Structure 1
C-alpha cells in the first residue's frame, strides 16, 4: 500500500471519529422544541444551570431581596385600576415596591420591555382568569407600555376580554374574564348554575392565541355565603352540595380536555399560574400595616387547590407549564392594598380599622411584577 493511500485512510479515520463525537455531544445537549421561538430569545436556558440544558430552573424557591432600582414603573401608569394604586390611595410607605424575587438556583433577567415585545412580535398573549389575573394583566401592560409611543397603543374590548395593542409590534396583551374557566349561567327562576362540564362559551375567546396563561382557584374556595352559584350541574344532573375540591377537579378536567383536544403545542404555549395566596386571617387585618416580607414560614403549607391542579396537569397530553407563584407570594403580606384600595378623600379622619381591608389583591407596582418577570423568562 502506497504512502499516499495510508495517509488518506488515516485522515478518513480521524474524520469518522470526530463526526461520531460531535453527534454524541449534540444529543446530550439537545434543547426542547420551542420552534415558535428564536434560539437567541430562549433566555430560560441561559439563566439556569449550565450543566444540563434540559433542566428547568425552579423559580418558586428563593428569597425576596431589597433592590433600590425597583420598581420598573410607577403608579402613574394609566392602565392601573384605582383599587391597586396604593400610593395614590394614601399608603404612606413605599418599600413594598422595591423587593425583587431571587431564585436560589438561577437568576431572573430584569424585565426588558423592548425585548419582551420583540419576542411577542405578531403574537397574542392572553391572561385568563379572575380579578387577580386582571391584577397581573395590569402589571404586564404597565411594564411594557412605557416604550410604546402614545399614538401607537390602544385598548380594545370584546365581550369578557380586553386587549392592549402595541401597534408597531402587531402584539396584543389580553385579559379574558373566566374566574371558574367553566360556564356559569342563569337557569330557571334566575338561579345561578355552574356547569362543571361546559366551557365553550368562555373558550371561544382563547382560540388563535399564541401564549395562554390561566389561573383559577379563588372562586372555587368561596364560602357558601359568598358563593357565585346556587347549583352545580354535570350532564343532566343538578347538585346543591359538592365538596369544593371535587368540583374544582371536575372543572379543571373539563378545561384540560378542551386544551388537549383544541390546541396544538407547536403553535400555542400554555402556562397555568398557581393560586395567589391570601393573607385574610383576623378578618383581613393580617396584612394591614405590614411593611416587610416575612423572613420565613414556621411550617410549609401546600394549599389543597394546588395539589388538585398538579393532579390534573399530570394527566394531560398537552405540555402545560405550571408557574408556581404561591410560596414566593406567601412571604409578601406587605404587598396587599389593605385599606388603601381607594382614594380616601374626606374619609381620612376615620380610623383605618373602619375601612374594609383587601388582603387578596396586590398593590401595583408590586408582587405581580415579579410574576411577569418570571413569565418573560419562561417565554
Structure 2
C-alpha cells in the first residue's frame, strides 16, 4: 500500500503534464486556424480593395485628359528602374553607360492636371500577358518604347526566365523578349518605318538619307506577322518628315516593269494610312486585340525656338522647356490630323484604336535626348568631334527616360480604359 501511495502523485503529475500538452497543442492548432482564416479574409479584403482601386482609378481617369499636365521633378519614384539593373543592353539608348553624367532627365514625372497617372505595376502587366503577344510596330522611336517596356517588365522576373533574341527567319524584322518560363508571353518589336512596304524595310541596313521608295498600297508583307498579336502598338512619323515628296512604286519591287510616281508627302502618308486601316479592318478581331497608336515624337534641333542662340541644339541641355504649350517647328500637325481621321473612320466601323498622344508632353523634354551619349555606327570626322552640336542626336531618347512615361500612359489605357 505504501508503494502504491507513493506512486500515485507521480501518475497524477504525468497526467497533468499530458493534459497541459494536449491543451497547448489545441491552442496552437486553434491559433494556426485563426491565422489561416485571417490571411484568407485579408487576401479577400486586399483583392476586393484592388478591385475598388481599379474602379476608382477608372472613374477618375475617364474624366481626365492624361496628356495635359506638367513635368514634376521626383527623385523618389522616378526612374522606375536603373539602367544598370536592366539586363537588356540596348546600344544607342543607354546614355548613362555612354558617359552622361547629369542624370536629372531620369527623375521627371508627368503629372496630368486633373488626376494622377496609375503607378506602373510590372507584375500585373506580366500576369496579363500570359499566353499573349505584345507587339510594337514602327521605327527606331517605337523600338525605344519597346526597349523601355522590356526594362520595365523584367524587374519582377527571376534571372534566367527572360531573354532577348531574334525570331528565327524573321531576325531582320522582329526581336522578341521572352517573359518567364511557362508564361508563353512575348513583347516584340517589328521594324516597319512606314508601316507599308518600302525600300527601308531592313532594320539594320537602311538610311533615311538614301532614296526612299514606298509602296503605299502594299502592307501584307509586314501585316502577316502581326495577325495573332493581342496588343498592337503602332507609330510612323520620323521617316515621313525626311522629305517633302516621296517616290511611290506601283507594283512589286521585283517586277521588271516598275512604275514610279512622285507624290507629295502628306498625300503619301494619307494613302499609307488608308492601306493600314483596310488591313486592320480585314485582319484584326476587335474582341481579341487591343490597338494603340503613339503620336509623333518631337525633335529638338533648333535651340533658337526655346531661347538659345541660333545653331544650338539639344546638346548639353539639362532642363525641360518651361514655355507652356511650346511646339517646335519640326513637328507636323498635319500628319497628326491624318492619323486622327484614320482612327475616327475605323471607330465608325466598330474597330477601336486608342491614340496615346505623347507629342505635347514630349515637346518640353529637350533635356532627355541621347545627344552625344550613345553608340554611333561609323566613325565621326575630326570636324564633327570638334563641334559636338554637329552630331548630337536630338531625335532619339535615353532609356531610362521619356519612353518610360510613354509606357506609363500606355499602361493606364491598357488597364483603365
Q: What interval of TM-score do these two structures reach, taking the shorter chain for normalisation?
A: 0.7 to 0.9
Q: 3-state SS of the aligned residue for 1:241?
A: strand
Q: 3-state SS of the aligned residue for 2:89?
A: coil
Q: What residue in structure 2 maps to residue 96 of structure 1? A: 105
Larger C-alpha radius of gyration, 1 or 2?
A: 2
Calculate the TM-score normalised by the size of structure 1.
0.79
Q: Which has the higher contact order (CA 8 A, sep 6+)?
A: 1
Q: What residue in structure 2 maps to residue 303 of structure 1? A: 333
Give the whole-Å Cα distance in 2 for the aligned partners of 1:351 and 1:142: 34
Q: What residue in structure 2 maps to residue 164 of structure 1? A: 177
Q: What residue in structure 1 maps to residue 222 of structure 2? A: 202
Instruction: Indicate the RMSD between aligned Cα atoms, in angstroms.
Output: 3.1
Q: 3-state SS of the aligned residue for 1:278?
A: coil
1:46 to 43, 56, 73: 56
In structure 1, list runs of 5 or more residues that go unmatched. Answer: 1-38
Change (3 A) 1:234 1:276: farther
Greater than 6 Å deviation, 4+ residue runs: 39-44, 234-237
Give the whole-Å Cα distance in 1 for the aligned partners of 2:130 and 2:297: 29
Q: What residue in structure 1 maps to residue 31 of structure 2? A: none
Q: What residue in structure 2 maps to residue 330 of structure 1? A: 363
Calculate the TM-score normalised by the size of structure 2.
0.72
How far has the Cα of 1:147 moved from its partner? 1.6
Give the whole-Å Cα distance in 2 for the aligned partners of 1:145 and 1:237: 47
Partner deviation per Cα, 1:250-280 (whole Å, 9 max, x = no partner) = 0011001100111111000000110111112
Give the whole-Å Cα distance in 1 for the aligned partners of 2:51 and 2:223: 29
1:281-320 alignment runs, 5 A limit: 281=302, 285-297=312-324, 303-316=333-346, 317=349, 318-320=351-353
Give the paired residue count.
330
Q: What residue in structure 1 maps to residue 71 of structure 2? A: 64
How far has the Cα of 1:82 moved from its partner? 2.3
How far has the Cα of 1:369 moved from its partner? 0.3
1:82 to 88, 91, 96: 91
1:128 to 134, 137, 140: 137
In structure 2, list runs of 5 or more residues that go unmatched. Answer: 1-48, 201-209, 304-309
Q: What residue in structure 2 maps to residue 150 of structure 1? A: 159
Partner deviation per Cα, 1:172-205 (whole Å, 9 max, x = no partner) = 111100110001159xxx9864111110000011
Q: What residue in structure 2 maps to residue 18 of structure 1? A: none
How far has the Cα of 1:300 moved from its partner? 5.2
